[in-house]
Structure 1
Amino acid sequence: MGVAVLMYHHILPESGFIASSVSEFLAQMKFLADNGYKTLTSSEFLAYKKGEFAPPKKSVFITFDDGWRDNFYYAYPILKQFNLNATIFLVTQWIEKSSEQNALKKAEFTPLHHAQAKQQAPQNPASLFLNWDEVAKMSELCNFHSHTHGHTDGYFGDLPFEADLELCKNTIKNRLDFDDTHLCWPRGKFDDEKLKIAKNLGYEIFYTTERGANLADKNLDYIKRIAVKNGAFWLKKSLFIYQNEFISKIYAKLKG
C-alpha cells in the first residue's frame, strides 16, 4: 500500500482554478476524520519514504503550495476543528513582502481567485499571502517547507535559480530555525541540473505535480501528488486509487 499526497493551493468561498471551496474542503476533512485517517507530518512522510516508519493503512499527506493567506482564514480553522496535520510549501519572498507590508499597516485579507490574485500580488502582498505571524499561529498543526524564494513569477524581481533557492533555504532557517530538506518545485518543473543544485544545498526530498502512488521505496527525487478537486466522494475514490500502486497504474493507463 502507498500513501496518497494531496495538493491544494487556494481554499476560497467558491471553487475555481486551483481552488477548492470551503464547503468542499470541509467535507473532505470531515471524511478523513470520520474514517480514522492519519494525516502525516512532513517528517513522518519522509521517514515513510525512507522505509523507516510504517504508518497506519489509512494515512494521507496533505500539502498546500505557495502560502496564500486564504489558507490561514479558511483552511486552518477546518484543520483545527478536526485536529488534522498539513504541510505548506512557502514561496519565501512572498511571505517576506507580505510581512513587511503588514508591519507598516495592518492589511485586510482579500479572498481572490487565482488570476485576480496574481494581478494584485505585486501591489498588495499582505492581503494575499501569509505573513510570518500567521505562519507561527498555524505551526500547531502545519509544517512549513520550501517552494523557492520567488516561484519564477517575478512579482518582486527574479534571481538565478541557485541564488533564489539558497535565499529560500536561508530565509526558512532564519525565520523558522531549522535547516529545510523538503523542496516543492514551482509548477512541478525541474531538470537534472536544478535537482543537483538543490541537493548540493542540502535538500533531500522533492515534490512534483504528477499524479501517482507513493511507496516506501527510498526514492525521494520524485514525490507524486494529486491535485484536489470536488468533495468527499472524489477524495474517497482518489484515496482508493492512489493508495495502491497496481490500481493507480491501471487507472493512469485508462486515463491515457
Structure 2
Amino acid sequence: MNFPTLVYHEIRKKTEFNPENKSSIDVKQDYDDILPSPLFVTLEQFEEQMKYLHQHQFHTLTLEEVKGFYYEGKDIPKKSILITFDDCYQSMKKYAYPVLKEYGFHAVSFVVSSWLHDEKKEFNPDHSVCLTKDDLAEMADIFEYANHTDSFHQRTDLKTSIIMSTSDEEFAKDLDKCNEYVQVKDVFAYPFGLFNERNVNLLNDKGFKLAFTTQTGPNTIETETLRLKRNVVPYLMELDAFKNLVG
C-alpha cells in the first residue's frame, strides 16, 4: 500500500499569469525572494485535477491517518492521496479552498509563521502575497496547519537552506516558535526540500513524527517517516501526466 503526496504553492487563472514575469514574495518577515514560475498552476488545471480525483474516488488523507499508517499499523483507504500547500499564499484561499470544499477534500498547509501578515491584503495576481492568521482560521474546515519554520524559510544558495547552516539550538527555537501557532506540532516540511542529517536527527529528538522532502515518488510503509516524498505539481502539467503521478 502506498500514497502519493502532492505539493502546490500558487494558483492563477490563465488570464492572470505570465510565466515570463517574476512574482515577488510579499510576506511580513523582512525577506526578499521570487517564486519561480514552475511552482504555479493555473486555476483551470487545478480544477481539472481535483475533478479527476473526485470522479475516481480518491481519499484525501489527514495527517493523523498518515501517522496511524506508520506508527500504529493502521490501513489507509485504497486510492489515498495527501494534498499539501506550502507557504500560505492568497490563492490558497481565493482559488484552492472553494474547489477543495466543493469536493469535500481535506488538505494540509505548511506554515511559515513569521510570514503571515497582520492585516488582510487585497488579492494581487502579480505578487505572491501571504495570508493572515484570520484567513487560515476561516479555512480550518478544509486545511490543517503544520510546521514549515517560523523565520528559517531562507537559503544561502541553491543547495543550502538556513536550517542546514544554523545551530541545532537556533533551529530548535525556530521550530518551537512556529509550533506556538500551528495545530499539528509534530509534522514538518523542509524549506525548499533542503536538509541534512543533523536536521533529521534534531526533528527526531524533538518528537516530530513526519517530515516531508521534495523527493519525488510515492510513499510506502518502508519510506522513512522523516524523509517522506512529495511531488511538486508543475505549471502546465497535462492531465495524463497528472494521472500517472497520482496512480
Into which bin does the TM-score normalised by the smaller protein fall?
Answer: 0.7 to 0.9
Residues 110-121 of structure 1 aligned to structure 2 (within 5 Å): 110-112=124-126, 116-117=127-128
2:30 — aligned with what? none
Per-residue CA distance 1:169-224 (angstroms, 9 max, x = gap):
33333x34x46010100111111112222223332211000101211237212101
Deviation of 1:165 (Å): 4.6
Matched, 1:142 2:143: yes
Q: Which runs of 5+ in 2 are unaligned?
A: 18-36, 157-161
> TM-score, length-normalised on structure 1?
0.77
Deviation of 1:82 (Å): 0.9
Q: Equivalent of 1:107, from 121, 131, 137?
A: 121
Residues 57-96 of structure 1 aligned to structure 2 (within 5 Å): 57-95=78-116
Cα 1:191/1:171, change in 2 over 3 Å: closer
Contact 1:69 1:129 (C-alpha < 8 Å) held by counterparts: yes
Per-residue CA distance 1:68-104 (angstroms, 9 max, x = gap):
1211111111101111011010111101xx12xx1xx
Q: CA–CA distance in 2 between the matches of 1:218 and 1:210?
A: 11
Deviation of 1:66 (Å): 1.3
2:3 — aligned with what? 3
Cα 1:179/1:32, change in 2 over 3 Å: closer
Q: Which residue identity lines up with residue 48 of structure 2 in the other structure?
A: A
User: The residue matched to 1:20 in structure 2 has which SS?
Assistant: strand
Report the RMSD for the aligned CA atoms in angstroms. 2.2
> TM-score, length-normalised on structure 2?
0.79
Q: Equivalent of 1:40, from 31, 56, 61?
A: 61
1:205 — aligned with what? 210
Per-residue CA distance 1:44-66 (angstroms, 9 max, x = gap):
12222335221121110001111
Matched, 1:233 2:240: yes
Contact 1:207 1:222 (C-alpha < 8 Å) held by counterparts: yes
Residues 21-36 of structure 1 aligned to structure 2 (within 5 Å): 21-36=42-57
Deviation of 1:164 (Å): 4.6
1:123 — aligned with what? none
- Percent identity (aligned): 27
Q: CA–CA distance in 1 between the matches of 2:155 and 2:135?
A: 23
Contact 1:51 1:216 (C-alpha < 8 Å) held by counterparts: no
Per-residue CA distance 1:137-157 (angstroms, 9 max, x = gap):
111011110111120269xxx
Q: Equivalent of 2:177, from 170, 177, 180?
A: 170
Contact 2:6 2:83 (C-alpha < 8 Å) held by counterparts: yes
2:31 — aligned with what? none
Q: Which residue identity lines up with residue 185 of structure 1 in the other structure?
A: Y
Q: How many residues align?
A: 215
Structure (1/2) with the larger strand percentage: 2
Contact 1:40 1:61 (C-alpha < 8 Å) held by counterparts: yes
Structure (1/2) with the larger helix percentage: 1
Q: CA–CA distance in 2 between the matches of 1:211 and 1:190?
A: 15
